[in-house]
Amino acid sequence: MLKRRIVFVAGKGGTGKTTIAAAICLLAARNGKEVLGVEVDAKGDLSTALGSHGANFKATVVQPGVSVLALHAEEAFQEYLHLYFKVPRLARMTPLSRVFDFIATAVPGPRDMLVTGKIAFEERRRDDNKRPVWDLIVVDCTSSGHVLAQLRAARAMLELIRGGLIRGQIEWIDGVITDSRRTTAVLTSLPEEMPVVETIELRRDIARQGTVHVSMCVLNRMPPEPLPAAARRVLAELTTADAPVRARLPGAARIGADLELGARLHRSAQAQARQLRASIGVPVVQVPVTPARTGLATTRAVAVALRDATEARR
């Protein structure tokens, strides 16, 4: 994954897209890469998960080797016009701007394409020594429904535009997204029935689109391994022990019941993991639920777990 140039992190709401995207940024930076994290929906979560706040359209350094850029579609639109058509930013005040506004708002495709267009542009950026400005770009995508439209936006535009300057640029954007040597997607899921079903569907829909290559699925927030069954039995038996024994070990019965519940959650998560592995068609790595509380602490713990899990697979 870290050998690619662009990684899209996509999945259902709340499955850990932002946390996993931030963790990939940290791991890549620790490997000496210059990383750009991209927030597509501009909630500001990615920069928070990286211990900062408030990213904007200009890339801002949030950790050593990691910068974050927020892509509001409107700003992406201005930048796109400026970069590709050399339209000065002020020209948007003229009647011409209404034409551009129409293009950008009336049809969903162009607006979504601005997002992939900006990402492709950042991938192509070189410094004065002709070296890439970013070794890796990690995209914290919007929810699963919208991401399909975004990934396919350039392709959809190609069906509308038959020739000319714009077509060449859109072909180039689509080429960056679909090039599996450069670009890949990581899907995030949770060990519960609906997220697993929806992740399998998302993977199938991406394959049907024929857009981005999917390299793995992260099954996030796995419950911890329970104590061995024998130890749980001892604690469970305390529930029925004589009153004097229970009096000497206050709370033990409660611990026993909690451990039983933990074991049940673990079994059900394992069953969901098997279901996901059987159907998704890409490697699945598990990341445990971490006790960390702040954004950056959670990200760091998840980064370590993700590194261990991917190394264990090799």
Binding site for Mg ion (CB under 5 A): 17-18, 45
Least CB distance to Mg ion at residue 254 (A): 35
Q: Report how far apart, in Å, the C-alpha atoms of 223 and of each of 200, 216, 243, 276 are.
A: 21, 20, 33, 16
Q: For binding to ligand ATP (CB under 6 A), which residues are involved?
A: 11, 13-19, 45, 143, 220-221, 287, 289-290, 298, 302
Least CB distance to Mg ion at residue 140 (A): 6
DSSP 216-282: EEEEEEEPPPPPPHHHHHHHHHGGGS-HHHHHHSTTHHHHHHHHHHHHHHHHHHHHHHHHHHHHH-S
Least CB distance to ligand ATP at residue 275 (A): 20
In the bound state with Mg ion, the residue whose beta carbon lies nearer, of 14 and 281, is 14
Strands 6-11 and 66-70: unpaired
For the record, the structure tokens of 288 come out as 């445990």
Least CB distance to ligand ATP at residue 288 (A): 6
Helix (H, G, I), strand (E, B) or coil at 286: strand
In the bound state with Mg ion, the residue whose beta carbon lies nearer, of 18 and 189, is 18
For the record, the structure tokens of 240 come out as 């029925």
Strand order in the sheet with 35-39: 60-63, 66-70, 35-39, 136-143, 6-11, 183-189, 214-222, 284-288
CB atoms within 10 A of CB 184: 20
Least CB distance to ligand ATP at residue 132 (A): 27
In the bound state with ligand ATP, the residue whose beta carbon lies nearer, of 7 and 252, is 7
Phi, psi dihedral angles at 221 (to 5 degrees): 60, 45
In the bound state with ligand ATP, the residue whose beta carbon lies nearer, of 170 and 309, is 309
In the bound state with ligand ATP, the residue whose beta carbon lies nearer, of 14 and 175, is 14
Residue 298 partner contact from Mg ion, ligand ATP, none using kind-dependent CB cut-offs of 5 to 8 Å: ligand ATP
Least CB distance to ligand ATP at residue 305 (A): 7
In the bound state with ligand ATP, the residue whose beta carbon lies nearer, of 91 and 296, is 296
Residue 287 partner contact from ligand ATP, Mg ion, none using kind-dependent CB cut-offs of 5 to 8 Å: ligand ATP
In the bound state with Mg ion, the residue whose beta carbon lies nearer, of 169 and 220, is 220
Whole-number Å distance between alpha carbons of 206 and 151: 9
For the record, the structure tokens of 10 come out as 């996509």
Whole-number Å distance between alpha carbons of 129 and 134: 13
Least CB distance to ligand ATP at residue 174 (A): 26
In the bound state with ligand ATP, the residue whose beta carbon lies nearer, of 157 and 306, is 306
Whole-number Å distance between alpha carbons of 38 and 115: 10
Least CB distance to ligand ATP at residue 293 (A): 8
